[in-house]
Structure 1
Amino acid sequence: MARISIFGMVGLAACSAVLVAGCANGSTDSESAAQSSAASQTATSTAKSTPAPGQLPRITILATGGTIAGKANANSAVGYTAGEATAQDLIDAVPGIDKIAKLDAEQIANIGSQDMNDEVWLTLANRINQIFADDKADGVVVTHGTDTIEETAFFLDHVVASPKPVVLVGSMRPSTALSADGPANLRSAVQVAADADARDRGTMVVLNDTIHGAKDVTKTNTTSVQTFVSPNTGPLGHVDAAAVTFAEPASAHPRLTFPVPGKSPLPQVAIVYSHAGMDATQVNDALGHGAQGIVLAGVGDGNTAKPVVAALSAAAGKGVLVIRSSRVGSGSVVRNAELNDDELGTISALDLNPAKARILTQLLLANGITDKAKVQQDFADC
């Protein structure tokens, strides 16, 4: 978590670290509702029993498609069609997986993750929350394409308050490829979801024997099976055929969670990508299309060209949430360093990459949270 001392925002010291919404004083009705809903979800899930000794954990697999469900294209050496295999096809491809957990499978979608959208996100979130509320499973595994798996994981991490694990899994090779990695990845994901030590860790991503947290994980290579890394924190742990090993105990710090937004699409938030020779065209275009928030994928420490800075500050002055992130790929955007956020009216994304900063901004807007001190605090607490 970023240090609170870097913020330097008036009134921020009055805010305590929170689970869902609001300073101790002056929180909005929507923030209070968010806190109440999340607390209720957690209490309900915590009250449910864990598997009795000798009984297999119950794991529900929710399939959404992606390369893990892809089948090779006979007309191409490398091409394939994502989202061809069903959830049951994936389970059937993993011998002995039924010895790890009692499995149930549902097909939520069957798309390439480049086509992942708000509607599928809301369907997934509501279904997972219902499964846990009804005590139908001890953990959930979501099969997913790798292109946007980190975004779906981050979204679910902030709308599923249960201590039970949610594990996203994908593959870099289609199911019909030579040395397909999907079956081994799915086995590993089920192992992690079924492990008692996986509780209270939020949403995770498991590929190539490595366990990542939703906040930091990112895809770093176009085709390598070792594409996912957690550049700022390192992986949560590792898994092999014999054991699941976590590097550290689960954090005692409560996750920032919100109620699942009631409708699709989520509030419109644009990402503006900074580059040499840039002007304010991207910012003006985003505003012209109704953006309620703008995330800057800035150069270096969240910086950009002077005309863009001016346009972003003007937008912030009109009530648009403007978030400074970085295109670099690792590190934290320091508040009031290269740019003076207090003067500009902007928010530092800290260590969130642009895609995840966009999602958090959407969730904040969906819950009526626009106070800049509160928004900055939630970026620190996520």
Structure 2
Amino acid sequence: MATTVSVFTLGGTISARGGGGSARLSGAEVLAATGAIPPGVEVEVHDVRRLPSSSLSVEDVAALAERVEEAAAAGHGVVVVQGTDTLEETAFLLDLACAPRTPVVVTGAMRRPDLPGADGPANLAAAVAVAADPECAGLGVVAVLADEIHAARHVRKCHTTSVATFASPGAGPLGRVVEGRPRVLLRPAGPTVARPLSLRGPARVALVTLALGDRGELLDAVDDRFGGLVVAAFGAGHVPTWLVEPLTALAARMPVVLASRTGAGPLLSETYKGPGSEYDMLGRGLLSAGPLDAPKARLLLHALLADGADHAQVADAFRALVN
């Protein structure tokens, strides 16, 4: 097992004081509640933020990624503790920005420490166990909650209150923590991106979710303020016929990624071939999000643009996910 685990705390429900107000426990106080650190593991706690995760920014995660890289380069396993609202997005951004040297784990809690059945201590103890196990280094960044280990690229929050809210639709967990020890059942075929991406460059990416009767007014707002667009389309990648031309025009001047608003399952490519179908839109220059849901497709596009990728390089990166 790794001798040192660096724990970076950002705030969230796991650190909330009684009553659910804005006051937060320190990282040391959160860690003290776990009561189950693996033998022989030294934990270093770093308070980075004390915020609800809905108030975190890409810039916050970029700064965190640099600290995670420093810890991993020193041979430390890493645990990031934050709120669950954006936990899957932080995990995915770290997966894009960090080299897989040592295990990197993101965790949190669904119930405040003062509520019956608070899940924070168990989640943190399981996360430290995964971060301390070198066998978990090849998994990429993972989320560990409810004793399940999930790949950052697949995991999503699926319920507003359940302590078992995190799942990987279409993929399933990579493994579980049993009696305090990680048991890895599956391993990703490869990294999400060929190399770590910088999150520091300027990038603005819009996300537009289509709905029944959508007339495209929000597409009109995707102007020169944005460098890219993700469209959360119907079903397996379908848009209304009257939005075909506006989306074609946008795809001619910026990367436009076609994703599904369903949140599970891959985007199709040639099952339906009428106007506004996935076949039609991909043929018009839109890029397939492949297995990524729309929020993660937005983060990948943001990271690629921030790293300096041009339109062709963005297309190659998304194509690699599909192939």
Query: What amino acid sits opposite 1:362 in the alignment?
Result: H
Distance in 2 (CA, whole Å) between partners of 1:200 and 1:91 is 26
Matched, 1:138 2:76: yes
What's the % identity of the aligned pairs?
33
Once the two structures are superposed, what CA deviation does each residue of 1:105-131 show, in whole Å capped at 9, x if it has no partner?
001111001111022111101111122
Counterpart in the other structure of 2:13: 67
Distance in 1 (CA, whole Å) between partners of 2:141 and 2:100 is 10
Q: Determine which of 210, 214, 218 is the counterpart of 2:156.
A: 218
Distance in 2 (CA, whole Å) between partners of 1:140 and 1:220 is 25
* SS, match of residue 335 in structure 1: coil
Counterpart in the other structure of 2:66: 126
Distance in 2 (CA, whole Å) between partners of 1:331 and 1:70 is 35
Counterpart in the other structure of 2:258: 324
Q: Determine which of 37, 41, 44 is the counterpart of 1:97.
A: 37
Q: Shift of residue 192 of structure 1?
A: 0.6
* Pairing of 1:364-379 with structure 2 (within 5 A): 364-372=304-312, 374-379=313-318
Q: Shift of residue 70 of structure 1?
A: 1.2
Matched, 1:57 2:12: no
* SS, match of residue 167 in structure 1: strand
Matched, 1:166 2:104: yes
Q: Shift of residue 225 of structure 1?
A: 0.3
Distance in 1 (CA, whole Å) between partners of 2:53 and 2:23 is 9
* Pairing of 1:240-255 with structure 2 (within 5 A): 240-248=178-186, 250-251=187-188, 253-255=190-192
Distance in 2 (CA, whole Å) between partners of 1:82 and 1:139 is 29
Query: What amino acid sits opposite 1:379 in the alignment?
Result: F
Counterpart in the other structure of 2:246: 311
Q: Shift of residue 316 of structure 1?
A: 1.0
Q: Determine which of 227, 232, 235 is the counterpart of 1:300.
A: 235
- 5+ residue gaps, structure 2, are none
Q: With structure 2 as the length reference, what TM-score do the two structures score?
A: 0.91
Q: Is the 8 A contact 2:198 2:306 kept in 1?
A: no
Distance in 2 (CA, whole Å) between partners of 1:270 and 1:311 is 15
Q: Is the 8 A contact 2:147 2:176 kept in 1?
A: yes
* SS, match of residue 311 in structure 1: helix
Q: Is the 8 A contact 2:157 2:167 kept in 1?
A: yes
Query: What amino acid sits opposite 1:211 in the alignment?
Result: I
| Number of corresponding residues | 314
* SS, match of residue 103 in structure 1: strand
Query: What amino acid sits opposite 2:162 in the alignment?
Result: S
Query: What amino acid sits opposite 2:247 in the alignment?
Result: L
Q: Is the 8 A contact 2:153 2:192 kept in 1?
A: no
Q: Is the 8 A contact 1:108 1:120 kept in 2?
A: no
Distance 1:83 1:253, change over 3 A: farther
Q: Shift of residue 219 of structure 1?
A: 0.5
* Pairing of 1:188-207 with structure 2 (within 5 A): 188-207=126-145
Q: Runs of 4+ in structure 1 displaced over 4 angstroms?
A: none
Distance 1:141 1:282, change over 3 A: same
Q: Determine which of 172, 181, 205 is the counterpart of 1:269.
A: 205
Q: Shift of residue 163 of structure 1?
A: 2.4
Counterpart in the other structure of 1:37: none
Q: Determine which of 20, 27, 42 is the counterpart of 1:87.
A: 27
* SS, match of residue 139 in structure 2: coil
Q: Is the 8 A contact 1:65 1:83 kept in 2?
A: no
Counterpart in the other structure of 1:38: none
Query: What amino acid sits opposite 1:271 in the alignment?
Result: L
Distance 1:295 1:90, change over 3 A: same
Distance in 2 (CA, whole Å) between partners of 1:162 and 1:247 is 19
Q: Shift of residue 341 of structure 1?
A: 3.6
Counterpart in the other structure of 1:285: 221
Q: Is the 8 A contact 2:175 2:183 kept in 1?
A: yes
Distance 1:82 1:356, change over 3 A: farther
Query: What amino acid sits opposite 2:13 in the alignment?
Result: T
Q: Shift of residue 252 of structure 1?
A: 5.8
Distance in 1 (CA, whole Å) between partners of 2:320 and 2:180 is 35
Q: Is the 8 A contact 2:100 2:141 kept in 1?
A: no
Distance in 1 (CA, whole Å) between partners of 2:114 and 2:98 is 33
Q: Is the 8 A contact 2:105 2:127 kept in 1?
A: yes
Distance in 2 (CA, whole Å) between partners of 1:364 and 1:269 is 11
Q: Is the 8 A contact 1:61 1:142 kept in 2?
A: yes
Distance 1:83 1:216, change over 3 A: farther
Distance in 2 (CA, whole Å) between partners of 1:117 and 1:301 is 30
Counterpart in the other structure of 2:301: 361
